[in-house]
Structure 1
Amino acid sequence: MLAFLLKAGTSTNLPKGKGTNSSGKSGQDTAIYFDILGTYMVVFRQYFASLLYNTVILQALLIWTTSVIMGGRSAMVSLALSSLSLVLMWMCAIGFSVFVAFILPLVSSSPIPYISSPWLVVCLFGAPAVLGAFTGQHVGYLILLKYLTKTFSRRNANLPLVVQEDLAKLDAERWLFKAGLLQWLILLIVGNFYKIGSSYLALAWLAAPAFAYGLLEATLSPARLPKPLKTVTLLIGSSVPCLLSSGIIIHSVSTLIGSAVRLERSPGSNPEWLGNVIVAIFIAAIACLTLVYLLSYIHISGAKVPLIITTCLLFGISLAVIQLGVVPPFTEDTARAVNVVHVVDMTGANGKKQEPASYISLFSTTPGNLVKEVEQIGEGFTCGTDKPLDFVTFSVKYGCWSDKNANIGWHETDIPQIRVENDIKGDNRVTHASIDTKLSTRWTLGINTDEVEDFQLKDGLEELVPIGDKSNADSWHIIQFSGGKKAPRKFSLTLFWANNQTHKFYKKDSNTEQPLLKLRTDVDRITSPTETVLGKLPQWCSLFGKSTSPLTLAFLTSLPVDF
């Protein structure tokens, strides 16, 4: 952001988004801007960008069309086979990386072991992605080479067989390089069509290598025999694109890793490998996009074996480092987010009330189990998916719980109450209920919108939620309330039932009947058993809570549909 702030601070006239030009066409004045190494700022308008992109696209299409027409049937088949090498490159790169994503949870205590050391993704996913990209491209190269060998044997029958094979290898190498140009041309066309702001990257990765290739490598005639690609072509063609995209790639990977850590809204709701798969696919895409020109040089050089050995060594070492715990997934500086909540649950099976069940709940929104944490804490915790917990705003499908000394620190008079004051049945059923949150001034109420069409919430005479315009998410309307010390604790709720019910109870699945109302009240109190657990938390754990998270003491209650 430094370059952007410097530019914005010193400029008196920056292009405005959603502007209108003199012809009245909107969207042409949108600012497109990017920085170079966080120092130099480049700003231009969408109108100029579209003009530039269209010019480059038309020129590229003209050159490609002319080249294929001049080359005849051989050029068309070679183009198709080089495109096949691109497809195989992407498939193998993604396949190798995704395979690693699946095995990581099996060899590491954390399914995302690179959180504290993001550079590990280069070895864990980057090395397999590069190896897969090379493998896929090499398979396509062999198919292309076989076809070109036959072509040169017919076209240059007077040349020795060894020379024909060498010429076929050189031509195959060139077609793979040109396939990389075709890949970025397609991305530029798509980006220009959808007015994607980052299309300038596709322009750079297309124009610079194309210019270098045309300046140093172009044969201009199919009759001329191919020559080896020059190293300077790769250096000139890739230097500017790497300069533009390196910072963006690093920041994007870092952001994606952070998002993978926060991927779970409800602990245990996603498979452990999901975050790894997303990161793996992204790393594989970067490898295929940025290394496509470099990989085309390797097939006829002596770098094949060193590349394979290097990538395998990098992956093996990084995997060993993770399995042996040399680099821990979490540290004191990069801690694992956990929640420790003393829960008093009045919600029984199928949403029906029961005797209060009290226990300490330990869960984390960071993917992975809590076995190591529980081993260090002790206190009789049991972990698993056997005891799902509904906190109204989210559910804990995997967590740990302990009932050791759980009856200390609360009283039955602290439990919130939902009472039905009046229930008028008929075609338009209306139910009046009262809610008493007791100690809590921070609570969350869930209303089943499959049973209730509308509702009204009042605080005495003051209307808090009026009738009409109710939204829902997954068949629930969620109300969150937070007030000060003098905030109200008693509320009246009027429910207007849905008329077109085809069933008495709404079931999300065959075994679970959803309640009519579910209520969670939070109390900012650390009970004695909670304090004990907090004191034994490992140093790599840190308490974390969002606006929807419960406090350290939470009461759960509900009102069943068949009250």
Structure 2
Amino acid sequence: MLELARSLSQWAHGFKTGIIFLFNTGEEEGLNGAHSFITQHRWRHTVCFFVDLESMGIGGKSTIFQSGSVPWAFEIYARVAKYPSAQVFMQDLFLSGAIKSSTDFQVYSEVGGIPGFDFAYTDSISVYHTKNDKLELLKPGSLQHLGDNMLPFLVEMALSANLSIIGDVAGKDRDAHTYFDILGIYMVECSQSFANIFYNTILLQAILIWVASLIVGGFQAFTAMLLSILSIVLMWIFSLSLTVPVAFLLPLVCVHPSPYIGSPWLIMGLFGAPAVIGALVGQHLGFLILHKYLCRIASKGAPISTLDVNLQYLLKLESERWIFKGGFLLWQFVLVLGIFFKAGSSYIPLLWLASPALAFGLIDATLTPARLPKKLRIVTLLLGLTPPILISGGIFIRFGKFIVGSIVRFDRDPGGVPYWLANLIVAIFVVTIVCLLFVYLLSYIHLSGSKLSLLISMVIIFILAIIAVSFSIFPTFTDDIARTINVVHVVDMTRSSGEKQDLDSYVSIFSATPGKLDNEMRMLKSDFFSCERSRTIDFVTFNVSYSCLSSKGSSDGWRKSEIPILHVENDNIEDVRKTQVLLDTKSSTRWSLAINSDHVEDFTIEGNSDDSLFVKNKADGKGWHLIQFSGGKKSPTKFTLTLFWSTSIAAHASQSGVLSQENSPHLLKLRTDMSTITPKVARVINNLPSWCSLFGKSTSPLTLSFLTNLPVEF
């Protein structure tokens, strides 16, 4: 950003619009910097367009992955960017909720109502928020790629006299946009409504072609089409049946349930090989059924063995062609789903439908039943698959790397998900890729002599991969791809005994990476850690169901005067019950508070904290109102919380959210955080293996946390 500012300063004399460079802080604490600017800064009303520069990994291409509806800005970027990089596919993932994350884009767009672009690096996402998320590991050329695109874009935007009307236009035109780049050389962009018209036109033409071919072919063609659909269904069933069990097998035979994190190429053997075997077997079974049907029709009731050998071969060729055309039906179905859900990335199934269909129609289509079928030509496959692979192949690779990289922080509530769940997601992704992208390729194998050799090679690859992960030949974690670990000294006041609150101090080690911590604990034998699932730690913003605990030496490094206080100052039960609670966080200026929404309908909080307070979903429907606060050294530590009780108080606490506990007796739950490293925590951190890395986000505790609560029956 500094280099962009320096370069832009040389052009500033010709600008018709100013450019603000905003260096935000507090993003990981709740997007505080962006929120403060857009709600309080005196320049906020002068902003009509924004560019948010994000990073979810180390380098690579800086890609547009979220955007507002500003056609003119898209046109400028597509025209002037030297190496345009944009993928609406990532925006679809964000909108679907598959990616549980937010950026400053949401603040500028939703709170400020300003249109803009959100750029991000997404390579090496496994190091995100770990010790390896550092400048030294930035891929060469990454910053230059961003600068080559951003500098001409900002110059062109600032030189335009029309920039001031973007906000007005965007406010009236809420039509989404479809955009993608082709090999980083050319960018395609258009409105979603125009794209839908184009998609529907192609879809209608495809349907008309199918109807015409079925009319010409009659009942036999209709039945053959249904059997080709059956081959697609069998392909998916067999592929899933062979691949999904691997997801459950790996936690049983490997030290770590996802042993491919450090060596992602192992996925090709562990999941890719069985997926290909299943897809080939399932599709071949459909091929045999289809061939048998065509032979039965040709024999007119006579035994199939009486058919001429040449005729049987011709019917095999016809079966092969129907299996190939089954791929059209598969991608046609995906395109229908994309249009129905208004996905901007519907251009992907369009490519995989139109290009092979066009190549087949030009080279291999018989056009009339009178012409004898011929063997599918390799050139049809090459011409048909080259465009979609070049345009969309990189998306599938990047998305696969994103899924694998995300496993290191997959378990948001440590111990809360089965160990096999991440493997299952990877398995389904691999099956989807194989069944969608290989559907045309596999149809060429049924009449070749390579079926058996392909199956044997896939079996060998799978066995070798299983042996490799079973004996840990390739380490799951390395110094560069580390396991995420949290080491927290907890002072727990939540374990009540009658009217008395017992103080419990311990150090907790837990991980967002699925899997046990047995290997890590071998390095910490002298600290007497015990790993268990019998005790759930409620950190207010999340729960820890599996952790390693040790109380030895945990009384040092903190003071009782730092324990936060929740004190009821006034409880008025007339009319609507209203309770005032003093919230004293002592030395902490970073805390999280949960308010039982089954009992409290609304609340207010007073104190000189308006600039820093972040209230998340005041009525989130999960059983708790959640407040997260993060301030500076001079931030207040005392607040007055006023609770307005529900007129129809529920008899029991909600069980629907991650913060809920069955029959919860708590009215308030509070966690205060301090960055103090106690002697016990320091010793643990120093003794952790090199392939472990401390991890933290806005909901994560710091190295010293105090837990307390206020019961409903206070």
TM-score normalised over the length of structure 2: 0.72
Task: Rate the CA distance shift 1:562–1:26 in 2: closer, same or farther, 3 A.
Answer: closer
Question: 2:239, 2:431 within 8 Å by CA — same for their partners in 1?
Answer: yes
Does structure 2 conserve the Cα–Cα contact (< 8 Å) formed by 1:352 and 1:558?
A: no
Choose the corresponding residue for 1:267, options 387, 411, 414. Answer: 414
1:482 aligns with 2:630: yes
- 1:206 is matched with 353
Q: Which residue number corresponds to residue 15 of structure 2? A: none
Whether 1:305 aligns to 2:452 is: yes
Equivalence map 1:284-295=2 (5 Å): 284-295=431-442
| Partner amino acid, structure 2, of 1:551 | L
> Aligned in 2, Cα 1:132/1:345: closer, same or farther, shift over 3 Å?
same
Q: Deviations over 1:406-465 (max 9, x none)?
A: 112223232222222232334432222222222222222211111122223223899998
Do the aligned partners of 2:414 and 2:514 also contact (CA within 8 Å) in 1? yes
Of residues 360, 364, 369 in structure 1, which corresponds to 2:507? 360
CA displacement at 1:62 relative to structure 2: 2.2
**Structural mapping, 1:165-314, within 5 Å:** 165-314=312-461
CA distance in 2, matches of 1:244, 1:526: 50
Which residue identity lines up with residue 382 of structure 1 in the other structure?
A: S
**Structure 1 residue 351 displacement after superposition:** 9.9
Report Cα offsets for 1:130-159 as digits up to 9, x if no partner: 111111111111211111111122399998
1:525 pairs with 2:672: no
State the 1:352 CA deviation.
6.5
Residue 434, structure 1, aligned to residue 582, structure 2? yes
- Cα pair 1:350 1:512 within 8 Å, conserved: no
- Deviation sequence 1:162-213 (CA, Å, 0-9, x none): 2232222111111100111122223234434544322222222222222222
Query: 2-side partners of 1:424 and 1:529: how far apart?
Result: 45
User: Would the aligned equivalents of 1:7 and 1:41 in 2 still touch at CA under 8 Å?
Assistant: no
Alpha-carbon RMSD across the aligned residues, in angstroms, is: 3.2
Asked if 1:552 is matched to 2:703, the reply is yes
CA distance in 2 between counterparts of 1:120 and 1:187 reads 29
Equivalent residue, structure 2, for 1:391: 539
CA contact (8 A) 1:416 1:521 kept: yes
Letter in 2 for 1:150: R
Tell me which moved more, 51-60 or 304-313: 51-60
SS in 2 for 1:562: coil
Return the letter of the residue paired with 1:398. Y
What letter matches 2:689 in structure 1? Answer: P
Change in 2 beyond 3 A, CA 1:418/1:203: closer
Which is further off, 195-204 or 536-545?
195-204
1:40 corresponding residue in structure 2: 186
Shift in alpha-carbon separation, 1:193–1:374, aligned structure 2, 3 A:
same
Identity of aligned residues (%): 49
Correspondence for 2:641 among 472, 477, 493: 493
User: Judging changes above 3 Å, is the alpha-carbon distance between structure 1 residues 299 and 455 closer, same or farther for their aligned structure 2 residues?
Assistant: same
Residue 123 (structure 1) shift: 2.0
Match of 2:644, SS?
strand
1:3 aligns with 2:84: yes
Distance 1:290 1:435, change over 3 A: same
Q: CA deviation at 1:44?
A: 4.4
Secondary structure of the structure 2 residue equivalent to 1:3: coil
State the alpha-carbon separation in 1 of the partners of residues 608 and 315 from structure 2: 87
C-alpha separation between the residues in 1 aligned to 2:425 and 2:275?
A: 13
Sort the Cα spacing of 1:306 and 1:554 in 2 relative to 1 into closer, same or farther, 3 A.
same
Paired residues of 1:261 and 1:275 also in contact (CA < 8 A): no
Superposition deviation, residue 507 in structure 1: 6.6
Any stretches of 5+ residues in structure 1 without a counterpart?
Answer: none
Alignment match, 1:73: 219
Which ranges of structure 2 fall in alignment gaps of 5 or more residues? 1-62, 64-82, 86-145
Contact kept, 8 Å, 2:612 with 2:631, in 1: the verdict is no
Contact 1:383-1:401 at 8 Å conserved across structures = yes
What letter matches 2:596 in structure 1? N
CA contact (8 A) 1:116 1:334 kept: yes
Distance in 1, matches of 2:385 and 2:545, equals: 48
- Counterparts in 2 of 1:27 and 1:172: CA distance versus 1, 3 Å: farther
AA of the residue aligned to 1:267:
P
Q: Deviations over 1:226-281 (max 9, x none)?
A: 22212222122212222122211111111122334333221111111112212211
| Structure 2 residue identity aligned to 1:96 | L
2:669 aligned partner, one-letter code: K
Task: Select 1:58's aligned residue among 204, 207, 210.
Answer: 204
Shift of 1:81: 0.6
Change (3 A) 1:45 1:502: closer
Matched residue, 2:554: 406
User: Shift in Å at residue 119 of structure 1?
Assistant: 2.0
C-alpha distance 59-519 of structure 1, shift in aligned 2 (>3 A) = closer
- Is the contact between residue 496 and residue 502 of structure 2 (CA under 8 Å) also seen in structure 1? no
- Counterparts of 1:105 and 1:158 in 2: how far apart (Å)? 50
1:193/1:423 CA distance change after superposition, 3 Å: closer
Contact 1:32 1:45 in 2 (8 A): yes
- Is 2:612–2:629's contact at 8 Å kept on the other side of the alignment? no
Q: Are the equivalent residues in 2 in contact too, given 1:102–1:276 (CA < 8 A)?
A: yes
Q: 1:107 aligns to what? A: 253
